[in-house]
Amino acid sequence: MSTYSAAPGTTLAALAAVLALTLPARQVLASNLGRLFFTPEQRRQLDRQRNGEQRPRADSETLFIDGVVRRSDGATTVWVNGVAQHEGLPGIRIFPSAQDPSRVTLRIEGGAPVRLRVGEAIKRTTREKDDGLAGGSIHIHGGKR
């Protein structure tokens, strides 16, 4: 019985040829998929957003409650007009409800407090509330237990 043994130089050359042929394909695939990690500038932008350095314009007429998140350590973040609020907006105080995580109370420029749910909006000048349903309604039916 005979065995075939390639010369050591030919095996290495074949491996180098395969790697050279697949390298351009990997670069094209990587450029199509985009970068996996953020650039340093993108990370700085995310840090600024997380630290509350970017806020909606103070002169925005409508305040929309986008969401409320309560962390396990008790800290709460409220999103107003698409931006996380840690300090609140100028002239507006935001108080998350301790009993109902879907509600917040806003005190706008010394006026009476206004309770809003996530998804609702209020106009600053008229204090007119908008539930976002445009006159419709939502019905929730309990499932079998």
Q: What gap in Å lies between CA 22 and CA 101, rounded to an integer?
A: 53
What SS3 class is residue 56? coil
pLDDT tens digits, 57-115: 545 788 899 999 888 888 888 888 888 886 567 778 888 888 888 899 988 887 889 99
Give pLDDT, residue 6: 61
Domain range list for the chain: 56-130
Residue 76: CB atoms within 10 A of its CB come to 17
pTM: 0.53
pLDDT band at 125 (very low <50, low <70, confident <90, very high): confident
pLDDT at residue 16 greater than cutoff 90: no
Consecutive H or E run containing 5: none
Are the C-beta atoms of 106 and 113 separated by less than 8 Å? yes
